[in-house]
């Protein structure tokens, strides 16, 4: 499996996801910006994170919070200038950290100049930049479309919202009866791929360390087994190996065997699709709830399947959350959030912490949709720094904020948790420190699941490297549990909520417990 030479820093990378609109507003306009992020880099580093994934920051009409790009080469003025972004790169690197930009290769905004040119009836350089049918009366089956908006005869496929026209990377199996379905080696598809490489060149030369790639598995159409899309990314991998061998690539794909084969270094487990990730934190009975009615077995079964397909490379990333899903604290509460992080920070692959999850920021219910957020809007509220105006996020009037702040009683803040040794923030900070001290717990340490039975607790697995073996025991349930283990816990590395006991190879685990042990 060709993943390219992995940058060494990914081996112990711990990512912090920044939603730039909502992180820190430095100029009082109600929207977060680059200078605000720069001012909080020491906070991120102090938490223990050494890498950043920043959501899209390019020019956009913001119909989908920046995932509808109108200019890949210019940042959105709301965040600052290209020079400000360059300074952000430099400040990140001064702290020996790394930063990934969010790359959206599958579609643009309808306001992008490429699309405006492609709508013209006369053929031009951009006529084949998008997926257009030949007739206004024919829509691309299964993709949705935009039509009736220009003199050009045809309907344009969309990838997600109706204002996000799909870029043309070709069809893996073009239908001969549909002349508009171009092959991957057509001039239009090749031109789109080269334009993508040019965009990557521009930002890598400026100083970003790589990309998190949005909807990476969606580019080539009529590609049920992803063979065409894998081939496309292998082409990109050859380009990067030649020109930018240190650039990191993380995919939003959800199928590690495919993304890693395409040349990505890491892949996310997604909240949709077959991963059973939602079984852990976001379902009617999450496994990590203290009610203890969840089931981890399907997650483990699918994880192992992907782990084997990915040749045990430890490149499957599990996030605490992201801008597209409910906050983890919506379904998991109290010390069970600490237990959840004890799990997240002891699994293979790079952990990704969504801004604010380290303090247990809440999902805000029943918000009016902002910039295409809809139900996701409640997970995108401003970072809660302190108890000053607007939780320290912005000096703007409250009505000018991008999204309202959490104004509930007892809302978590960074300021309150920094000084509380028992806070979630300080527990996450401790867990990150422990991970960084033990190679077995880092991205490439191997994993073997020891106890993950259907509808049962606890959850136990062995992490190992050439230097050490560490037994991890997780019991989110509000009751004592036990299991038979082939390993005898020796030195305690970490524990939360009591101690285990061992009798004749049977381990008894306290309620709401997490622990790491050398074996």
Residue 112 sits in a domain of what CATH number?
3.90.400.10
Q: How many domains does the chain have?
A: 3
**Number of neighbours of residue 502 by Cβ within 10 angstroms:** 11
- Please give the Cα distance from 132 to 180 (Å, whole number): 7
Query: What value does the mean pLDDT take over residues 453-461?
Result: 98
Taking every pair of Cα atoms in the chain, the longest distance, rounded to a whole number of angstroms, is 81
- Please give the Cα distance from 186 to 273 (Å, whole number): 31
Within this chain, do residues 304 and 197 fall inside the same structural domain, yes or no? yes
Q: Which residues contact 222 (CB under 8 A, 6 or more apart)?
A: 171, 172, 173, 174, 175, 181
Within this chain, do residues 410 and 303 fall inside the same structural domain, yes or no? yes
Domain-located, residue 182 = no
pLDDT at 271 over 90: no
Query: Please, which pLDDT band fits residue 272 given cuts at 50, 70 and 90?
Result: confident
Domain-located, residue 59 = yes
Quote the pLDDT of residue 315.
82
**Number of neighbours of residue 446 by Cβ within 10 angstroms:** 16
* For the chain, percent of residues with pLDDT exceeding 70: 99
Within this chain, do residues 409 and 333 fall inside the same structural domain, yes or no? yes
Domain that includes residue 497, residue range: 446-518
Per residue in 133-189, pLDDT tens? 999 999 998 899 999 999 999 999 999 999 999 999 999 999 999 999 999 999 999
Closest of 305, 249, 248, 229 to residue 273, by C-alpha:
305
Mean pLDDT, the chain, whole residue set: 96
Query: Please, which pLDDT band fits residue 313 given cuts at 50, 70 and 90?
Result: confident
pLDDT at 371 over 70: yes
Token pair listed for 384: 């809660």
**pTM of the full predicted structure?**
0.97
Within this chain, do residues 101 and 132 fall inside the same structural domain, yes or no? no
Query: What value does the mean pLDDT take over residues 59-81?
Result: 98
Per residue in 324-342, pLDDT tens? 999 999 999 999 999 999 9
Closest of 35, 12, 15, 14 to residue 23, by C-alpha:
35
Query: What value does the mean pLDDT take over residues 244-252?
Result: 95
Quote the pLDDT of residue 4.
56
Query: What value does the mean pLDDT take over residues 208-231?
Result: 97
- Please give the Cα distance from 114 to 238 (Å, whole number): 26
Token pair listed for 279: 């079984």
Within this chain, do residues 90 and 121 fall inside the same structural domain, yes or no? no
Within this chain, do residues 30 and 117 fall inside the same structural domain, yes or no? no
Within this chain, do residues 242 and 118 fall inside the same structural domain, yes or no? no
pLDDT at 2 over 80: no
Q: How would you classify the pairing of strands 469-475 and 459-464? A: antiparallel
Q: What are phi and psi of 461, to 5 degrees?
A: -150, 160
Within this chain, do residues 356 and 408 fall inside the same structural domain, yes or no? yes
Query: Please, which pLDDT band fits residue 274 given cuts at 50, 70 and 90?
Result: confident
The single-letter DSSP state of residue 62 is: -
Within this chain, do residues 194 and 243 fall inside the same structural domain, yes or no? yes
- Please give the Cα distance from 29 to 299 (Å, whole number): 43
Within this chain, do residues 98 and 160 fall inside the same structural domain, yes or no? no
pLDDT at 353 over 50: yes
Domain-located, residue 390 = yes
Query: What value does the mean pLDDT take over residues 33-59?
Result: 98
Half-sphere exposure of 477 (CA within 13 A, CB side): 19
Beta bridge partner(s), residue 221: 171
Query: Please, which pLDDT band fits residue 1 given cuts at 50, 70 and 90?
Result: very low
pLDDT at 248 over 60: yes
Instruction: Measure CA 160 to chain center.
Output: 18
Give me the CATH number covering residue 292.
Answer: 3.20.20.80
**Of all helices (H) and strands (E), which one includes residue 201?**
helix 187-206
From 388, 406, 435, give the residue that closes a domain: 435
Q: In 3-state terms, what secondary structure has residue 121? A: coil
Within this chain, do residues 373 and 450 fall inside the same structural domain, yes or no? no
Query: What value does the mean pLDDT take over residues 105-113?
Result: 98
């Amino acid at each position: 499996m060709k993943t390219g030479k992995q940058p060494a820093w990914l081996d112990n990378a711990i990512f912090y996801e920044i939603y730039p609109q909502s992180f820190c507003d430095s100029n009082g306009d109600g929207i977060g910006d680059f200078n605000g992020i720069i001012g909080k880099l020491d906070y991120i580093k102090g938490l223990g994170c050494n890498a950043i994934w920043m959501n899209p920051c390019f020019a956009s009409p913001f119909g989908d919070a920046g995932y509808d790009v109108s200019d890949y080469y210019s940042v959105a003025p709301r965040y600052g200038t290209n020079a400000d972004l360059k300074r952000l790169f430099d400040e990140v690197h001064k702290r020996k950290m790394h930063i990934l930009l969010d790359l959206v290769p599958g579609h643009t905004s309808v306001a992008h100049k490429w699309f405006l040119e492609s709508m013209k009836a006369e053929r031009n350089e951009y006529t084949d930049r998008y997926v257009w049918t030949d007739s206004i009366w024919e829509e691309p089956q299964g993709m949705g479309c935009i039509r009736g908006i220009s003199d050009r005869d045809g309907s344009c496929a969309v990838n997600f919202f109706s204002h996000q026209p799909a870029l043309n990377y070709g069809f893996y199996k073009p239908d001969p009866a549909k002349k508009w379905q171009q092959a991957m080696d057509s001039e239009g598809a090749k031109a789109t791929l080269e334009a993508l490489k040019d965009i990557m060149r521009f930002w890598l030369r400026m100083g970003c360390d790589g990309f998190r790639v949005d909807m990476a598995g969606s580019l080539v159409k009529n590609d049920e087994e992803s063979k065409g899309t894998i081939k496309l990314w292998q082409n990109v991998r050859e380009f990067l190996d030649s020109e930018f061998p240190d650039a990191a690539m993380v995919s939003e794909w959800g199928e590690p065997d495919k993304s890693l084969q395409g040349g990505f270094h890491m892949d996310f487990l997604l909240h949709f699709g077959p991963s059973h990730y939602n079984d852990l934190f976001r379902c009617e009975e999450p496994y990590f709830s203290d009610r203890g009615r969840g089931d981890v077995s399907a997650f483990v079964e699918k994880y192992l399947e992907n782990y084997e397909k990915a040749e045990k490379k430890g490149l499957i990333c599990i996030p605490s959350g992201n801008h597209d899903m409910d906050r983890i604290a919506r379904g998991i509460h109290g010390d069970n959030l600490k237990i959840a992080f004890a799990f997240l920070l002891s699994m293979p692959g790079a952990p990704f912490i969504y801004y604010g999850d380290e303090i247990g920021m809440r999902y805000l219910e029943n918000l009016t949709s902002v910039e295409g957020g809809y139900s996701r809007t409640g997970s995108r509220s401003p970072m809660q720094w302190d108890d000053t105006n607007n939780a320290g996020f912005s000096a703007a009037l409250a009505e000018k904020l991008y999204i309202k702040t959490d104004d509930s009683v007892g809302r978590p803040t960074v300021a309150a948790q920094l000084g509380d040794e028992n806070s979630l923030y300080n527990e996450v900070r401790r867990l990150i420190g422990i991970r960084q001290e033990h190679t077995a717990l880092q991205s490439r340490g191997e994993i073997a699941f020891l106890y993950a039975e259907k509808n049962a607790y606890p959850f136990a697995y062995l992490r190992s490297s050439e230097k050490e073996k560490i037994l991890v025991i997780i019991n989110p349930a509000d009751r004592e549990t036990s299991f038979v283990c082939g390993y005898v816990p020796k030195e305690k590395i970490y524990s939360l909520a009591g101690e285990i006991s061992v009798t004749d190879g049977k381990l008894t685990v306290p309620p709401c417990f997490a622990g790491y042990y050398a074996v």
